[in-house]
Amino acid sequence: GKGFDFFPQLKFFELRARDLEAMDEGVTLQKIESKQESFMSAQVLNKNDDQNDDQDDNSTIASTSTTGTNKRSSKTGNVEKRSSKASTPKKNKGWTIGAAKSDPYCSIHTYPIELKAASTDVKTETVMQALSPVFETEPILSLRVANGEQLRNASFKISVIDYDALNSDDVIGSAEFTFQELLEGQDDDGIFMFERDVVFKGNVRGIICGKIEVNIPDFIKGNFPHKSRCIEDKTLTITARPASCCVVS
């Protein structure tokens, strides 16, 4: 058969998710620090209020409020004022203290497993404390496939996973694809656009969408239309790259 010099590849880009299920409980360290900062800011404001009030105490200007609660005497300088120390710090509206969220990232796996040429994980970066993350990373999945029949019977999935620094990561859910639907659904430029439910044990836990650059040989016509878009995958070892990774049957 005819061989190709490059591993066929799928390039994932413009990946984003929305309405993900919150997996974290309680608050994160980032949130706790922000709460402390908010409290400290409130203390500074209270201190400034006290200083301003002290300046008013030393004033010889007599003033009486309309309610009669803040009375000042020009002779004594005594003031009946509200104690700002007793006030509670206001919450910073820019933070949702105590709200549960997730720290999601995407991981891509093939079925069968040996279809993936690289031994390392194919994944995005982790977006901290987000339920509608936008992923900047553009993962590349290099494939080791011998013929069209093998590819038509294969599939892959994009798993959205919650990162956990202390325990094992938790799967939020996955979206599954077949290579056959990619080959049939790609546009003239070899781009497959998608929007799928993120499912875990039959339950929808959000939505994942994005685009896939389909750089796979046409096993029927015997050509490789988007070969020029394949790039060197540095995650592959020299021993993992055969002389001809793809054979047209």
pLDDT averaged per 10 residues, the chain (length 249)? 62 97 66 46 50 54 43 42 45 54 96 85 95 96 82 92 94 96 91 98 97 85 79 54 39
Which helix H or strand E contains 38, and what residues bound it? Answer: helix 29-57
Cα angle 227-214-241, degrees, rounded to a multiple of 5: 55
Give the Cα separation of 86 and 58 in Å (integer).
22
The neighbour count for residue 34, using CB atoms within 10 Å, is 17
Alpha helices in 90-218 (DSSP H): 148-152, 179-185
The neighbour count for residue 60, using CB atoms within 10 Å, is 9
Give the Cα separation of 3 and 146 in Å (integer).
9
The first and second tokens of residue 111, run together, are 């079925």
Contact at 8 Å (CB) between 110 and 178? no
| Model pTM score | 0.65
